[in-house]
């Protein structure tokens, strides 16, 4: 379990607080979205999860280990895989295979096991065919999948992803989202940072941040029942939710607390079949 208890963080001693009193928990195996407007502290928050940053006040504990405890950082970093917003920032190898092997090599695993883990990880994200390719020749979507494979080769309990579909075309974005869903169904806990409410709608719980703290949280249904609260802080709604709201305003008795395509389809179908 990941626990943030009243976490404060400042980049500069006299600067503004990028996090001011964040408390939240993420259970094992949960798929949580963290959303919020630009600059609200999402990236700062995710960097606390694997002890890249530690709180100036309050605490972050990962399965009982405090991130301030330098002696536990290796264990923490093995438990939590991080996928940064820009995949170029985490490329360390020339080829896809070499890059993927970097994590397990750092764990000083035997060569045979490293090979096995790399092959398995590339296969899991569907890029086994790219193993020998120079990373620089990959598309943005392939690079993102390669970054996820590198994390999987470490066999983490949780994966934290910062805007995993940023800079991707819609087809690659869909592939990455399907991959995240698959990891979640394999039992990996997912912390999914996004400013896209349509992406967040597909998770189990949404934590909405604003100005460095948790603004409100709940299941997607609870969040989409409070669209006025989202609009107040400048978060745009999925088009599908806007459509349901417009249909309701035009007199159709549809629910509007829906952010995902499947939910909207069954709502509209139910209406037609009445």
Ligand X SMILES: Nc1ncnc2c1ncn2[C@@H]1O[C@H](COP(=O)(O)OP(=O)(O)O)[C@@H](O)[C@H]1O
The answer to the question of residue 22 lying near ligand X (CB under 6 A) is no
Segment lying near Mg ion (by CB under 5 A), choices 38-46, 60-68, 222-230, 231-239: 38-46
CB of 215 to ligand X, least distance (A): 12
* Residue number with CB closer to Mg ion (40 or 264): 40
Residue 117 interacts with, from ligand X, Mg ion, none (CB under 5-8 Å by kind): none
Tell whether residue 226 is a contact of ligand X (CB under 6 A): no
C-alpha 121/C-alpha 109 separation (Å) is 15
Judged by CB under 5 A, how many residues of this single chain contact Mg ion? 2
- In the list ligand X, Mg ion, none, the entry touching 40 (Cβ below 5 to 8 angstroms by class) is ligand X
Q: Shortest approach of Mg ion to residue 192 CB, angstroms?
A: 13
Residue in 8, 21, 43, 116 binding ligand X, rule: CB under 6 A: 43
Task: Report how far residue 27's alpha carbon sits from residue 237's, in angstroms, rounded to the nearest whole number.
Answer: 27
Is 36 among the residues that bind ligand X (CB under 6 A)?
yes
Q: Does 39 bind ligand X (CB under 6 A)?
A: yes
The answer to whether residue 43 forms part of the interface with Mg ion (CB under 5 A) is: yes
234 touching ligand X, by CB under 6 A: no
Q: Which residues bind ligand X (CB under 6 A)?
A: 11, 18, 36, 38-44
């Amino acid at each position: 379990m990941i626990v943030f208890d009243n976490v404060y963080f400042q980049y500069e001693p006299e600067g503004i607080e990028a996090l001011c009193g964040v408390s939240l928990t993420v259970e094992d195996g949960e798929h949580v979205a963290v959303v919020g407007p630009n600059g609200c502290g999402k990236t700062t928050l995710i960097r606390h999860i694997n002890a890249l940053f530690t709180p100036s006040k309050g605490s972050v504990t990962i399965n009982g280990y405090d991130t301030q405890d330098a002696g536990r950082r290796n264990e923490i970093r093995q438990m939590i895989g991080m996928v940064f917003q820009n995949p170029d920032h985490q490329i360390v190898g020339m080829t896809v295979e070499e890059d993927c092997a970097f994590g397990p090599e750092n764990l000083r695993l035997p060569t045979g096991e490293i090979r096995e883990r790399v092959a398995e990880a590339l296969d899991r994200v569907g890029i086994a065919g790219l193993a020998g390719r120079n990373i620089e020749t990959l598309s943005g979507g392939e690079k993102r999948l390669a970054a996820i494979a590198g994390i999987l080769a470490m066999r983490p309990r949780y994966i934290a992803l910062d805007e995993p579909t940023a800079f991707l075309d819609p087809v690659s974005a869909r592939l990455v989202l399907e991959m995240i869903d698959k990891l979640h169904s394999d039992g990996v806990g997912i912390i999914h940072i996004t400013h896209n409410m349509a992406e967040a709608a597909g998770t189990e719980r949404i934590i909405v941040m604003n100005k460095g703290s948790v603004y409100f949280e709940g299941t997607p249904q609870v969040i989409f029942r409070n669209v006025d609260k989202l609009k107040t802080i400048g978060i745009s709604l999925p088009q599908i939710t806007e459509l349901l709201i417009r249909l309701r305003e035009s007199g159709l008795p549809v629910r509007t607390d829906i952010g995902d395509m499947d939910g909207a389809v069954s709502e509209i179908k139910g209406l037609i079949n009445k």
